[in-house]
Amino acid sequence: MRKQYDNGTVAVHELSLVVETGTITVFVGPSGCGKTTLMRMVNRMIDPSSGTVLVNGTDVRESDPARLRRGIGYVIQQAGLFPHRTVLDNVATVPLLFGQRRREARSRAGELLELVGLPSELGKRYPAQLSGGQQQRVGVARALAADPPVLLMDEPFSAVDPVVREGLQDELLRLQAELDKTVLFVTHDIDEAIKLGEKVAVLRQGGHLAQYAEPDDLLAEPADDFVTSFVGRDRGYRRLSFVDSDGIRTGQVDTVRVGETARPSVEWQLALDADGRPRGWLEPGTTVSGPLAEDQLVAGGSLYTEHAPLRGALDAALSAPSGLGVVVDADGGYVGVVTARHVLDLIERRRDATA
């Protein structure tokens, strides 16, 4: 399909693609490449200049716009909440619009707030009394209120700070595992695209489709220079998120227990709690008199849970003060250590095996 605005701007040149039902498809590309135009052509806020949009096999132009939008939730940046309505009424808006009784709509709204991880007491507040991240969650709850099979999300998390954004992303993945919506998610952030997308469409100016692939393939084989520069120099590192860690060699390190006496050592020693969970590192040469206390430890790096993708192992090794990434089991108990060298060796062995 194509969209040319009245002033002559071609926002979407010729785009043709099929989105899989029940998956998250991410559209990623720089600002102005036509992402918002594309989303709005799906729910008929904008009509294409030529071409068709099919939702579930039906041309959207043949559906009644109000009915169509009922089946398509829409979440935008800054949440777009009504400032003078309470959070609960914001979420209840759509069901009310479609004739649900106020009581039912409100009780459903309360459930939806919980579904998106908000305490229902927040329902009484006004949007301005919530944090940015909370407002975005309300936006998601509102979009889900009519239980639409399709969700359009246009840069929904772009305005919140990175830590909150990660929480919202995790929440979306959790929700999606439960709800199985068909989600079209727009972002300009390649990391977000790779984390959320089961398939990722990389767009460049004019709504040109540069590549449409699963994240791992996008990182492994960028289609052209544009995609290569967009996924970035560190794509090899990003790709580790998808590489399993079978065959990684873990080593062992001396351990000490918090609350027990520790002998000085010329090596780094890993401190564990009574349940065998890592608490931090004891620096070489540290003398400890009496039982080992937590404030004598150097904070550890990130932990790597066995069998998780390789990126976590490298992160653990690179972030540990000792250079030894701590490997834990599913219960958080110490299993062993890995070095960045181990991780790189494994990658090299894999490469030799496939070469």
Ligand X SMILES: Nc1ncnc2c1ncn2[C@@H]1O[C@H](COP(=O)(O)OP(=O)(O)O)[C@@H](O)[C@H]1O
Residue ranges in contact with ligand X by CB under 6 A: 5, 7, 9, 11, 31-37
* Contact partner at residue 289 from Mg ion, ligand X, none, CB < 5 to 8 Å by partner kind: none
Q: Is 59 exposed, middle or buried (0-12, 13-18, 19+ CB in 10 A)?
A: exposed
Nearer to ligand X, 9 or 129 (CB): 9
* Contact partner at residue 33 from Mg ion, ligand X, none, CB < 5 to 8 Å by partner kind: ligand X
Distance (Å, whole) CA 7 – CA 341: 57
The distance from CA 355 to its chain's CA centroid, rounded to whole angstroms, is 32
Nearer to ligand X, 3 or 195 (CB): 3
Q: Which residue is nearest to Mg ion (CB)?
A: 36
- DSSP assignment, residue 283? P
- Is residue 14 helix, strand or coil? coil
Q: Where are the alpha helices (DSSP H) in 207-292?
A: 215-220, 225-231, 235-239
Nearer to ligand X, 159 or 253 (CB): 159
Find the shortest distance in angstroms from Cβ 149 to Mg ion: 23
Nearer to ligand X, 206 or 321 (CB): 206
Find the shortest distance in angstroms from Cβ 326 to ligand X: 42
Find the shortest distance in angstroms from Cβ 11 to Mg ion: 10
The residue ranges that bind Mg ion (CB under 5 A) are 35-36
Find the shortest distance in angstroms from Cβ 226 to Mg ion: 19
Nearer to Mg ion, 156 or 278 (CB): 156
Distance (Å, whole) CA 337 – CA 316: 9
Nearer to ligand X, 25 or 322 (CB): 25
In the chain, the N- to C-terminal Cα span, in Å, equals 41
- Nearest 10 degrees: Cα torsion 176, 179, 180, 184: -60
Find the shortest distance in angstroms from Cβ 175 to ligand X: 24
* Contact partner at residue 287 from ligand X, Mg ion, none, CB < 5 to 8 Å by partner kind: none
* Contact partner at residue 32 from Mg ion, ligand X, none, CB < 5 to 8 Å by partner kind: ligand X
- DSSP assignment, residue 207? G
The candidate with the shortest Cα–Cα distance to 337, out of 346, 329, 327, 345, is 327
